[in-house]
């Protein structure tokens, strides 16, 4: 039967389409209690089916993404679609299955005591990476912790993990996931989170930008779809709006822009602006969100070698331009020390790296308009490549004042445009304190931030580094590498720093990619070596990242050390 909604009259949708949508929502609502009652063994089987299906469609998924982004099938840039698509999806599913198997065995998610530490301020942190010996071999020197919100202690940690699988009185419900159009793994992993971390059957609406992935998702997730716990719908904003306000939808999750979030929650025009100002939402149901960020990288001054400068020029170039810059975690502001003697050298190396990168198509809607608006706002902008219709070269505006009132600090450009700003400070410690305050107070968003610091400088800083990580109000923080690693590890929750009000949501509320099923994470902290060999395969300058990505994806489906020589062979071909 169809579920009537209060928005039938003004939805602008044909009656036949509304009827089909109503029927889809009703079918999910009917299956919602069964999902909560399903034996854990069967839930694990369905997750394993999704993992196997993801591996089965992986090659076709990457090929479809390359075609949509205007890249050649044999392009080395194919690596980015392996890492941001099948690799992350399969890895997160594998880690989730391991967690579910512990729940099946023990009746709860057991967090080993050896992984838990209490920080000096009393905050509990859990080490979640490396997860096994293969992680340790492939990502030598990398670690990741999840820092919990205040109030979570060693004694009550178990009460704040995997609650949906311990509760006997959990209420069934239907979640609507509004999928993002820029990265292939976002829609599927958002849906998996709603199903397995929150216990909601899920309606996934794909973004028109990447709805070409729909048939592949339907094939990969056929088990969950055929069982009636997951359904897909397609279409534009009118369908999304209709479903958001549908009486049969219990909660909403969106990965997208803050503007779209506010349109859903408060409405548009002057009335919507007034509602937002007064915090009077039109949407009277829970909504979680991941809405992007003006993402900063703080470069702590130190004495760097020529090799260090080149490595981090490639590191920064990757963060700026991977996926054409259409990433919510793309670096938008590089924060340097004004009096660092090697500041100009680093920026010079960065320019050279950016200039050598092949041109990228402006495949995401509105990119060219945003690019022109941001570059026009900053006269110092350098377009490091040829600008042609449909093609956007990387753009860097160096020397922007930290007091700038333009759009770069308050609006995510969502294209390959980045600014550099320099702060004062009598030394590394004072600069670091100023940089943390600048990021917290001047930059819009709370999703992710990074710090780059030489090991010698870090030793000199002592406790200042841990204090900086603590004080940065971001949901993910990475040291020496791209904060996108937190998105991709699967064991680190991904989302904004908690606490933003609905009418000033900035980077959003809630989190996903949470294979440990933590209930109250505050931030994920990923740390890696200052420089690593061989070159990281996610670097845009890596010549065989597509082959490494394919092999690492296969390893996530089959954790055999016999795969390591092939991975190493391709990794060394940087």
How does residue 6 score in pLDDT terms, banded at 50, 70 and 90? Answer: very low
pLDDT at 451 over 50: yes
pLDDT at 335 over 50: yes
DSSP 391: B
The encoded tokens of residue 55 equal 């591996």
Q: What is the DSSP annotation of 474-488?
A: -SEEEESS-THHHHH
How does residue 168 score in pLDDT terms, banded at 50, 70 and 90? Answer: confident
Lowest model confidence (mean pLDDT) among 14-23, 164-173, 291-300, 446-455: 164-173
Contact call for residues 239 and 13 (beta carbons, < 8 A)? yes
Specify the pLDDT at position 11: 65
**What rounded mean pLDDT belongs to the chain?**
96
pLDDT at 467 over 70: yes
How does residue 3 score in pLDDT terms, banded at 50, 70 and 90? Answer: very low
pLDDT at 1 over 50: no
Contact call for residues 447 and 486 (beta carbons, < 8 A)? no
Nearest to 61 by CA among 34, 80, 42: 80
pLDDT digits (tens, 9 = 90+) for 233-286: 999 999 999 999 999 999 999 999 999 999 999 999 999 999 999 999 999 999
Say what percent of the chain tops pLDDT 70.
Answer: 98
Angle at 325 between CA 264 and CA 404, to 5 degrees: 80
pLDDT digits (tens, 9 = 90+) for 410-441: 999 999 999 999 999 999 999 999 999 999 99
pLDDT at 10 over 60: no
The partner residues of 204 in beta bridges, in order of sequence, read 177, 232
Specify the pLDDT at position 220: 98
Contact call for residues 180 and 187 (beta carbons, < 8 A)? yes
CA distance 147 to 127: 9
Specify the pLDDT at position 2: 32
How does residue 395 score in pLDDT terms, banded at 50, 70 and 90? Answer: very high
pLDDT digits (tens, 9 = 90+) for 50-83: 999 999 999 999 999 999 999 988 887 889 999 9
DSSP 25: H
Delineate the domains of the chain, giving CATH numbers in brackets. Answer: 295-475 (3.40.309.10)
pLDDT digits (tens, 9 = 90+) for 355-375: 999 989 999 999 999 999 999
Give exposure, 32-71, as e/b (b: 16+ Cβ within 10 Å).
beebbeeeeeebbebbebbbebbbebbeebbebbbebbeb
Specify the pLDDT at position 12: 81
Specify the pLDDT at position 466: 97
CA distance 555 to 547: 12
């Amino acid at each position: 039967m169809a579920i009537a909604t209060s928005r039938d009259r003004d939805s602008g949708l044909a009656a036949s389409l509304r009827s089909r949508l109503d029927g889809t929502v009703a079918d999910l609502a009917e299956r919602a209690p069964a999902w909560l009652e399903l034996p854990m063994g069967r839930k694990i089987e369905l997750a394993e089916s999704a993992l196997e299906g993801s591996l089965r469609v992986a090659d076709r998924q990457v090929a479809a993404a390359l075609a949509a982004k205007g890249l050649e099938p044999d392009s080395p840039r194919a690596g980015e679609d392996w890492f941001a698509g099948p690799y992350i999806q399969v890895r997160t599913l594998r880690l989730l299955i391991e967690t579910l198997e512990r729940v099946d065995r023990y009746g709860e998610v057991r967090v080993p005591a050896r992984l838990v530490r209490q920080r000096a301020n009393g905050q509990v942190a859990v080490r979640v990476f490396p997860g096994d010996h293969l992680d340790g071999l492939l990502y030598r020197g990398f670690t990741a912790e999840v820092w919990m919100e205040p109030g979570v202690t060693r004694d009550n940690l178990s009460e704040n993990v995997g609650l949906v699988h311990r509760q006997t009185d959990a209420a069934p419900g239907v979640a609507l996931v509004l999928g993002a159009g820029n990265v292939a793994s976002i829609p599927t992993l958002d849906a998996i989170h709603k199903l397995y971390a929150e216990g909601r059957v899920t309606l996934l609406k794909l973004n028109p930008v990447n709805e070409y992935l729909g048939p592949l998702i339907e094939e990969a997730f056929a088990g969950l779809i055929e069982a009636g716990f997951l359904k897909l719908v397609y279409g534009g904003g009118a369908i999304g709006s209709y479903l958001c306000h549908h009486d049969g939808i219990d909660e909403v999750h969106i990965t997208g822009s803050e503007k779209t979030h506010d349109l859903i929650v408060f409405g548009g025009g002057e009335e919507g602006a007034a509602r937002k100002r007064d915090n009077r939402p039109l949407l009277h149901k829970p909504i979680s969100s991941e809405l992007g960020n003006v993402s900063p990288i703080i470069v702590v001054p130190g004495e760097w070698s020529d090799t260090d400068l080149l490595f981090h020029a490639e590191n920064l170039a990757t963060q700026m331009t991977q996926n054409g810059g259409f990433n919510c975690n793309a670096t938008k502001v590089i924060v340097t020390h004004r009096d660092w003697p090697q500041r100009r050298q680093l920026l010079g190396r960065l320019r050279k790296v950016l200039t050598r990168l092949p041109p990228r198509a402006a495949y995401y809607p509105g990119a060219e308009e945003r690019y022109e608006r941001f570059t026009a706002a900053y006269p110092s902008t350098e377009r490091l490549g040829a600008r042609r219709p449909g093609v956007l070269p990387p753009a860097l505006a160096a020397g922007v004042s930290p007091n700038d009132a333009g759009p770069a600090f308050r609006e995510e450009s969502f294209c390959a445009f980045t600014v550099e700003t320099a702060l004062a400070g009598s030394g590394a410690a004072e600069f670091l304190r100023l940089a943390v305050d600048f990021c917290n107070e001047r930059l819009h968003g709370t999703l992710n931030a990074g710090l780059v610091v030489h090991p010698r400088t870090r030793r000199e800083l002592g406790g200042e580094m841990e204090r900086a990580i603590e004080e940065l109000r971001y949901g993910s923080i990475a040291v020496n590498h791209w904060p996108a690693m937190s998105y991709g590890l699967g064991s680190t929750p991904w989302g904004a720093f908690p606490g933003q009000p609905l009418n000033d949501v900035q980077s959003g509320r809630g989190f996903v990619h949470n294979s440990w099923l933590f209930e109250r994470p505050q931030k994920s902290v990923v740390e890696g070596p200052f420089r690593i060999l061989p070159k990281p395969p996610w670097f845009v300058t890596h010549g065989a990242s597509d082959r490494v990505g394919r092999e690492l994806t296969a390893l996530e489906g089959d954790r055999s050390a016999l795969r390591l020589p092939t991975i190493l062979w391709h990794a060394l071909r940087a």
